[in-house]
Amino acid sequence: MRSRRDVLRSAVLGGGASVVAATAMGSLGPEAAFAATAPAPAQKVEPGAPDPDFAEGRIRSIKENTLLVLGSNLVFHTIRVVDGTSLWKLGPVAFDQAKPGDGLYARGVRMPDGMLAAESVWLNIVNIKGHIKNITGQTLHLDHNGHEVLCHVVAGKSVAIHSESPPTEDLSMLKVSQHVQILGAWRPDTNEVDIATVFSPH
């Protein structure tokens, strides 16, 4: 891992044999490899229809590098996680953080055998809007469609973004009855969420 990080570090700081394209400080360098060269290919999936390269559901079991997931529409998905797959659970995590019972969204490439080769897996991610009913201890009580969701502040991880201001760890600006969007990680089978980001319009 160390050596791979070294390669990547020197690539972004000083170039290297394997670098395809890089930005110089403050301005963009030769962007041939970056630019969206051709117009996007026509969308394969009919708007409104399910996207075969996407999966949603809860993890039933984990076998080696494969997640067996039961979708909310009762369709089973087999999702393969490889070295290049990103996993999110309140931030980037390793594969061993995926547990049976976790909810997930996954995007990747659907193989002919029906398996989804995952590029990204988001575990327990939720993005809910509501108004703050109360604030107690390190918890926001969010009224989300009439249901109370307890949103916990996680020290060192949770940030608040007040429109264009830079994100801040200090969430004490949040007020009772104001409307917010909370992106976070659901604690399975509870009405509790750990906060990644609170988006506040003011």
Partner 1 sequence: MNGIAASQPYVIAFFLLWAGLMKLLSRRMRAQAGQTALARLTGPARAVPVLRLVGLAEVAVATALLLPPTHLFDGVAAALLSAGFLAYLTYAHVAAPTASCGCLGTHAKPVDARSFARAGLLLAAALITVLLAAAPGLVPAVTLPGGLPEVVVLAEIAALLALSSELDRYWLVPLRRLLIRLRRPLALAPTGSVPLEASLHLLRRSPAYCSASAQLTSDVRDTWDEDGLRFVVYGARDRTAVFAVPLVGDDPRAVKVALVNA
Partner 2 sequence: MARSTAPDPPADLLGPVQGEVSWFCCGTAWGPCSSTGKGACGTCNSGNLQHAWPNTSDACWAITRPDSCGVGLSRRTCGFRHRITALCSGSSVVTAIADCGPQTDLFCGERSCCGATCASNRLIDLTPAAYSQIASLSSGLRPAEISTA
Which residues form the interface with partner 1 (CB under 8 A)?
4-5, 7-9, 11-13, 15-16, 18-28, 31, 33-36, 84-86, 88, 91-92, 119-120, 122, 133-138, 143, 145-146, 153, 155-159, 161, 166-172, 174-177, 196-197
CA–CA separation, 174 and 166 (whole Å) = 15
For the bound state, the minimum distance from the C-beta of residue 182 to partner 2, rounded and expressed in Å, comes to 9
Neighbours of 170 (CB within 10 A): 8
CA–CA separation, 48 and 30 (whole Å) = 38
58 contacts partner 2 (rule: CB under 8 A): yes
Supply 35's token pair: 């630019």
Residues 73-112: x where in contact with partner 2 by CB under 8 A, - otherwise, as a string: x--------------x--------------x-x-x-----
Q: Which is nearer to partner 1, 61 or 175 (CB)?
A: 175
Neighbours of 102 (CB within 10 A): 20
DSSP run (H or E) holding 159: strand 159-162
Residue 85: name its binding partner from partner 2, partner 1, none (Cβ under 5 to 8 Å by kind): partner 1
CA–CA separation, 126 and 135 (whole Å) = 20
For the bound state, the minimum distance from the C-beta of residue 36 to partner 2, rounded and expressed in Å, comes to 5
For the bound state, the minimum distance from the C-beta of residue 56 to partner 2, rounded and expressed in Å, comes to 5
CA–CA separation, 170 and 167 (whole Å) = 9
Q: C-alpha distances in angstroms, 116 versus 43, 67, 96, 121?
A: 19, 10, 19, 11
Q: Where on the chain is the footprint of partner 2 (CB under 8 A)?
A: 36, 40, 43, 45-51, 54-58, 71-73, 88, 103, 105, 107, 120, 122, 124-129, 144-145, 147, 149, 163-164, 179, 181, 183, 186, 188, 191, 193, 196-197, 199, 201
